[in-house]
Chain A
Amino acid sequence: MSDIPKADELFKSIDYNPPLTGWMETPVDFSPGHWCYPAKPEKIAYMDKKLPGLWGTPREWVPSEEDWKLPANWKETVVNGFRERLKKFRSLQLFMDICVRCGACADKCHYFIGSGDPKNMPVLRAELMRSVYRGEFTLAGKILSKLTGSRVMEENVLKEWFIYFYQCTQCRRCSLFCPYGIDTAEMTMMARELMHLVGLNTNWIMEPVSNCNITGNHLGIQPHAFKDIVDFMVDDIEEVTGRRVKAPLNEKGHEILFITPSGDVFADPGIYTFMGYLLLFDYLDLDYTLSTYASEGGNFGSFTNNESMKKLNAKMYAEAERLGCKWILGGECGHMWRVIHQYMDTMNGDNQWSGMTTPKSPITGTVFDTAAATKMLHITEFTADLIKHNKLKLDPSRNDHLRVTFHDSCNPARGMGLLEEPRYVLKHVCNNFFEMPPATIREQTFCCAGGSGLNTDEIMEIRLRGGLPRGNALRYVQEKHGVNLMACICAIDRATLIPLADYWAPGVAISGTHELVANALVLEEGEVRTMDMRQEPLPGFEDEDDDWTPPNMEDA
């Protein structure tokens, strides 16, 4: 990250005045740092075997080179694919026709706010596609050409798409403010489908997609390794709490199947959240199982095309059937929940086995009619219900060293309307909770700038720029309330918010909500804990004669 400017320099470099050249004439910067690496050919080849015809020809290519090695009939493929999708998605057809270019969406996108690049204004991002729509499919556009903002599909147009549609995290913030609800995220999804048809893709999306298909999770963790990791976590939980929890894997005959994004299995700080789930379930003696086959809640297919989204999602129902589970409990993840909430039942409802029932908490008896179709419950709904019924003994003072704020992940916020449940949980497990400014939370929340397959290091500067709105709001509560932890309910957030916070609000750590639940959970009467889930000493709860030094203090 050496060539990335310091935060205040980067801030000063932002200029909201558009360039002198019109947007169609302004050249696109293809230098490294502006794009994610293209997919390895073998990943494409693998997916092409599973879902033929959607991926173009596997090949090596580099975006900074002149020749992108497009297939000979690329133009036809893209234009025909475009035409087909206009019929398949009213959203696309309508959004192509009705934008009035009022600009209300322009400064709502975190990438525009942090970069000042006019093509990051949602209206212009969509124009990249709309201009082609007008030029290829409408009479007026064909006659009047540039005066009405139309152009035909050409190689440099497609290349421009590649840069800017992989510079949209499909966060939908723009959609909230548009007077017609025009959703640039929806157009980004379509543009990506079209680019995939001719093999314009990124490895950070394609490798997870193919991994999810083969191993069940995006990191490609094989079943035995998955079990090892879970065993480690069980050990760590014992270390912290003295309790050896059960962690059933691939077991048949349980009522509930639990699926969480695999980021929680793999990386800090997600694993602490995973430990939180395990501890909570054991405390409740919940009748559940984990699965290595359906070991990914995140649906990376939704960053490519509908077909892969459906295919990867189908695994959840398939596994519920195989294991005989009645309903599915889902962990903390952003886009996984957008897929579950808005797409899952529509595309895979028919694959549900007959034994599935509307989720009913075995602890409180609450029936969750709101999930009657998908049979899938969000963990914060489940936990909020437990808290409401006083089923958890909590000692929030164990989190007193934390001053907590909450980052609404875009997808649950703007794609579901899940806003209050996580706050309710947090407020019961910690005593110091502070909201960031209203224009940056709840439905107006700002993206972590790493969603939809963009959380890779080769575009770090773009991510940090896009992270400015979130980072700055965080800095605000850090200065004002001494906030030192931002909780969230998304595994991608847990990965991407760390460099973002280090850059824009150094000193703030990131966590999931169930990590804090686990900290506060009192397992038995008079239980004393001296460490939190991260195995760091709990201030105020230390052992009298504890001579243990935290690992990061050893050199001091």
Chain B
Amino acid sequence: MNALYSLLFVFLLVLIPLFGVDAAHLRTFFGVCIPTTAFIIFVVGFVYKVITWGRSAVPFRIPTTGGQFQSFDPQLFKQNKLDCPQTGAQTFFRMVLEVFAFRSLFRNTAVSLYEGKDYPVVAYKSSKWLWLFAITFHYSFFIIALRHLRLFLEPIPFFVKGLEFVDGLLQIGAPVMYLADVGLVVGVLLLLGRRLVLPRINYISYVSDYFPLFLILAIALSGIYMRYYAKVDIIAIKELTMGLVTFHYVVPETISVSFFVHVFLVSTLMVYFPFSKLMHMPGVFLSPTRNLPNDSRAKHHVNPWNDPNIKAHAYADYEKEFGVPMAEAGLPLDNPENGIPKDKA
């Protein structure tokens, strides 16, 4: 149901520019106003959220440790520097692997129950599917985003050109098919399929989980359509996009409507981004269970709201309360008077 709503919603989003551009001739509106506004909302929303995170305190060092810590004897007990980092550099590498290789997800296992010969068995097997789907999806998305820089930069930076070359290495079709385009579509479909097919994952999925997937799928498909089928006027598009970054807005007449659909969907994604779970992208860098060294027994850290007025129950009060039996039991007292029973005192 949630998936259906999302699909329907993305459909409606496609219709808006279709009508808007074709019927209402709002070319400047869809070519300039919408993307610019969306971009501003994206940046402001993104920064606002990250600042909100940054403003809440990190009172304690709470890294989840995934291996042996630095022991008193590093030879005897070898520290797992990546999963139990103790220095800034080690933590940095932990984060690099987390961000670029999805390392924690790589660890994933799946549980199953079955009747063993003599007793029931809980079995765990490595399950890397989600990791594979996620990495396909994210890297494809990333490469495609970088490739789009060619539209916004003049001259086109060498790395964008290099990326395009590598991405098109298979030389299939004309224009050359990009691997990342395939990767993105396949990746989204796999992630979607997983949500639809696995009962447990389906159970925890909201509209807000399906919607971004459908939206990104629609963006990918509209992009592919433009490039491989509609063969849009790329020179004219570059004129428009360069106009956006240099604030000399132009909307050449030769740009076809499929471009506006693509841009409108991308704008929707930009607006949606800061208010949604897509913020996991910046969030992964700030996660206190991953980005802190495990050194709080060795080094002093400060909790900004630590309350110095909270003190232990005073020993003096303790002795006052239990002094008599303590004295009888022969336990030493700070104040011998506490050991004299009330009726004798």
Contact = CB atoms under 8 A, between A and B. Distances in A.
Interface in B294-338: 294, 296-303, 305-308, 310-315, 318, 321-322, 325-326, 328-332, 334
Contacts of A215: 318, 322
B298 A370 contact: yes
A88 B312 CA distance: 23
Given A127-B204, A147-B207, A89 B59 contact: yes
A307 interface: yes
A164 interface: no
Interface residues of A, number: 128
Contacts of B276: 140
A417 B312 contact: no
Given A94-B286, A103-B198, A417 B80 contact: yes
A411 to B, nearest CB: 10
A418 interface: yes
A228 interface: yes
A100 B120 CA distance: 33
Contacts of A108: 109
B49 interface: yes
Nearest to A417: B69
Contact of A472 (B120, B275, B326): B120
A217 to B, nearest CB: 12
Nearest to B121: A472
B254 interface: no
Interface stretch (B32-40, B100-108, B240-248): B100-108
B19 interface: no
Given A140-B275, A420-B71, A443-B67, A18 B329 contact: no
Given A311-B313, A345-B296, A369-B72, A175 B277 contact: no
Interface string B50-90: 00111111111110111111111100111010011000000
A376 B331 contact: no
B56 A93 contact: yes
A381 B56 contact: no
Nearest to B305: A88
Contacts of A319: 315
Report whether over half of chain A's contact residues are helix, strand or loop; otherwise say mixed: helix
Contacts of B329: 223-224, 227-228
A98 B297 contact: no
Contacts of B314: 318
Interface stretch (A36-44, A64-72, A154-162, A335-343): A335-343
B208 interface: yes
A385 B110 contact: no
Nearest to A18: B203
A326 to B, nearest CB: 16
A100 B195 CA distance: 12
B341 interface: no
Interface in A102-151: 102-104, 106-108, 113, 118, 121, 123-124, 127, 138-140, 144, 147-149
B165 interface: no
B127 to A, nearest CB: 9
Interface string B261-299: 000000000000001110110011011111000101111
Contacts of A414: 64-66
Contacts of A177: 104-105, 107-109
Interface string A448-461: 00000000000000
B53 A349 contact: no
Given A347-B306, A472-B120, A97 B283 contact: yes
Given A94-B53, A101-B206, A102-B130, A16 B275 contact: no
Contacts of A385: 72-73
A312 B311 CA distance: 8
A98 B56 CA distance: 15
B200 interface: yes
A443 B65 contact: yes
A11 B70 CA distance: 40
Contacts of A439: 109, 124
B277 A101 contact: yes
Contacts of B203: 18, 22-23, 118
Given A179-B104, A181-B290, A373-B298, A94 B110 contact: no
Contacts of B326: 223-224, 292
B111 interface: yes
B95 to A, nearest CB: 10
A149 B208 contact: yes
B171 interface: no
A113 B111 contact: yes
Interface in A220-246: 222-224, 227-228
A214 interface: yes
B142 interface: no
Contacts of A86: 56
B111 A11 contact: no
Contacts of A51: 310
Interface in A397-447: 413-421, 424, 437, 439-440, 442-443
B137 to A, nearest CB: 11
A178 B122 contact: no
A469 interface: yes
Contact of A8 (B53, B54, B120, B331): B120
Contacts of B279: 97-98
A100 B300 contact: no
B119 interface: yes
B113 interface: yes
B313 A214 contact: yes
B122 A469 contact: yes
Interface stretch (A248-256, A267-275, A525-533, A542-550): A248-256
Contacts of A443: 65-67, 83
A181 B280 contact: no
Contacts of A347: 60, 303, 306
5 contacts: A90-B54, A91-B287, A107-B109, A346-B60, A366-B73
Given A101-B209, A175-B289, A345-B300, 9 more contacts: A8-B120, A102-B105, A103-B204, A104-B108, A118-B203, A223-B322, A250-B332, A373-B296, A385-B72
